[in-house]
Each structure stands twice: as C-alpha cells, then as structure tokens.
A = this chain, B = another copy of it.
Amino acid sequence: MNDSTARDTERGQPTENQGHVLTLPLEDLQVDREPHRYERWMIAKLLRMAGSPPVRFRLWNGETVEPAEGQAEFTLQLTDPKALLSLASNPNLAFGDLYSAGRLQLLDGDLSDLTETLYRHIHRAMQNWPRWLETLWRNHAPRSTGIDEARENIHHHYDLGNEFYRLWLDQAEMQYTCAYYETADATLEQAQLAKLEHVCRKLRLKPGMTVVEAGCGWGGLARYMARHYGVTVHAYNISREQIRYAREEAKRQQLDHLVDYVEDDYRNISGEYDAFVSIGMLEHVGKENYQALSDLIKRSLKPDGLALLHSIGRNRPMLMNAWIEKRIFPGAYPPSIGEFMGICEANDFSVMDVENLRLHYAQTLTHWKERFDQNEDRVAEMYDEHFARAWRMYLSGSIGAFRVGSLQLFQVVFSHGENNNIPRSRQDLYTSPATPEDV
C-alpha cells in the first residue's frame, strides 16, 4: 500500500483551507512596520535549520522570504513580529499555537502536505543540529497519568461532546482509532467495521467467552463482539460522555444483557477473562504505569486467554510533539516496540503477533479530516474559530506524521508464557474478508 490515494483526496480541496484562513479578522493582528534585518535573518535561519523545505514566508507587511533552494510549494503568513519570535524560540509548541490563533496562516498548499514535508525535511536536518538547538527545541516530558490526572487528561479530549465527534467519525460505531482498509477504496464505515472484525479474529473469540476491555471509547468494539461473537464484555472507560453514549446504544441495540460499561479507571479492573483487549488506550497510560498494566493483565487473563493491545507507537523512543501533548492529548506517549515489550517481558508473556497498520491510520485520518473540513463552520459555531483551527492542525499534522513514519500503529497479541493452547498460524484471520459487503 502507498498513501497516494490519501494525498490526492487532500489535494482535491485546496481552496477550502484557504477559504477558512481568509475569513479571519486579520486586521486585529496585523502590524505593518518594516521587518528588521535580524527578523529576515531569523526566518532564513529557521528554514535552514528545518532542512530548507519548499516553504515561502510572507511577513506582516506583505514582503516575502523565499526558500533558499528550489520553488516554494507552500506559503506561510506570519501576522506579527511576536509570532516570529515564539516560532523561533519553540517551534514544536508555537507552530500549532500560532496556527490555532490565526497568527500563522497557510495561504498556498494543503496543511497535511505541509506537515508531511516539514517532518521529512526536519527529520533529515536534525542529525546536524548543534546540541544547544536540540535542547532549546526539545519536546518536554508528558504530564502525569496518575489516577486523578488521567481523569483530567481524558476529560480534556474525550468529553468535548459526542455531537462534535459524530460530525466527522464513522457513522457505524463511532470509532476514534485506526481503521483497517482491506482495499484502497474502502469507506471509513467499512474500514472501521473491518478493524473490529480483525481484532475479534485475532482474539479467536467464541460464543460464551468473557472479555474485558480497557478504554472502550463509545463502546463500539464491545457491542460488535457481543452482537457478532456472542461474548459477554466488561468495558471500562473514565470518559463520562462516552460511557453515557455507549450505554444508550447498547440498550437501543438490545445488547445490554451482554455488555456492561463500567465508568472506572482500567486500574480497577477485577475478575478473570478469556480475552483482554485495549484499543487506543496505551498511548494515554504512560511508561511509568507499564509494570502495573502488565500485572493487571497477568491477573485478569485466564490461563488460555489472549490479550490484544492496539496503540500508536514509534520506530524508536521519542517524546510526543509538545503541542499535541499540551493542547490535544495531555499525558500522551506513543511507545516504541522495545518500550512496549516492557509490558510483556515484565510477566513472561509470550508475544504471538505484532502487526503495524501505520498507513491505515494515515488513510483513517484523511477520511476524518474530509468530514471535519465539511463541518468546520459547524465546529466553529459549537466552539470557536480557534478551536476549529486547532483541530484542523491536529488532524492534518497527524496525517503528516503517519505518512512520514514519525508515528506507527501497532497491534500486539500475546498470551501467558505457559499457554500452549494457542493458534497454529494466522491463516484463520484471512479465511474471509474482514470488510463487510453491506456497508
């Protein structure tokens, strides 16, 4: 698979992104004095440190700074001198903040393509950065994920209101995690249901089994498992908004006798189950809690049980982008497989299967962003322009990060070390398409 499909869809609507930018009250921010020589020098320096990407800067007085090498593919507008200062002093944080505030605007080009291009150039350039610059621009350590902070962290993002997420997530099961595209032309709905099916197959679910889910979002996986595999599920989540939605849906679908949504921290899971599953929670767990998570799975999983953890990850240990960690996902940390293995090695678990779905997440995010763009005015009404721009930045930046491989998506299946009652091969995962025809 390559992500050309994704990129083309993005390119399909360049005017729209510009449209949004032009609706801003520029005059409130505009300063029209001449830039000083050190300000022009600073921009040239910034571009060089970023590996000379094909980016043109347009300053507050209309004058432009062209890229040192080649043609500009993107034009970034800086509305005021202070914006330049904060960009130079802490770009990881300031780029998103300035964009959200409308003080850094993309005039030409697509935002996902820009972030992808910047990631590629900076990744190469970083290797030659002086230590002082690395230190100056380093992403800070993520905030704590203790029981109380976790509640705040999750509330900050997942309690924004189900109506907001309904605007751009799939209509099938409100899945806010990576989908599984068996074909390039699968719809978001098909790909999200295919993801649920793929996960159920990896867990080798059979009727009557018991499953515990840590971090269940809006409860879609739990309902899918109950509906299609006849298992009983205890699904944990600390987001009140999501639990409320999940319970209503389960009742509506008459699955509430099989699915129990528990509004509590995963650390309070009790009982023994045939399967332990967690989709998109590990990013919020924090490395300092891996030992505790490992112990939890050890005591929650029956001797023959299988566990599956699905998480955003890295090719090597690296801090989360400062802006994402501070403004979007407080406490978030995507582990490398080596770090992930801390969970498995701590209790002699045997890893059976690791699959990387990186480009599936680029495609998922692209589908989300298409729907988000179509509803952005509605989002601005619900919240404000600043919020809408921040989310456009977050979705576009994530598309870029998965396209360049700054982020990965791992599904890891493991069992107790002594368990010999394990599948002979993975053939059974692929006997029939996971993508439902009828969606």
Contacts and interface: CB of A to CB of B under 8 A. Distances in A.
B315 A417 contact: yes
Contacts of A337: 337, 341, 344-345, 351, 354
Nearest to A430: B430
Given A338-B338, A351-B356, A353-B354, A315 B425 contact: no
Contacts of A429: 426, 430
Given A182-B425, A336-B341, A337-B341, A420 B348 contact: no
Given A418-B405, A420-B2, A426-B426, A345 B316 contact: yes
Interface in A205-224: none
A342 interface: yes
B358 A345 contact: no
Nearest to A124: B418
Contact of A424 (B1, B423, B425): B1
Contact of A408 (B183, B350, B426): B350
Contacts of A3: 420
Contacts of A359: 420, 422, 424
A438 interface: no
Nearest to A354: B354
How many of these chains are in the complex?
2
Interface residues of A, number: 50
A288 interface: no
A252 B353 CA distance: 39
Nearest to A425: B182
A422 B1 contact: yes
A117 to B, nearest CB: 13
A168 interface: no
Interface string A159-181: 00000000000000000000011
A388 to B, nearest CB: 30
A427 B403 CA distance: 22
A349 interface: yes
Contacts of A350: 315, 356, 358, 405, 408
Contacts of A403: 420
A404 to B, nearest CB: 7
Nearest to A418: B405
A35 interface: no
Contacts of A427: 182, 430
Given A350-B356, A353-B356, A354-B354, 20 more contacts: A1-B423, A1-B424, A2-B420, A182-B424, A183-B424, A315-B345, A315-B417, A316-B346, A337-B345, A337-B351, A338-B345, A348-B405, A350-B405, A350-B408, A351-B354, A351-B408, A359-B422, A360-B424, A403-B420, A426-B429
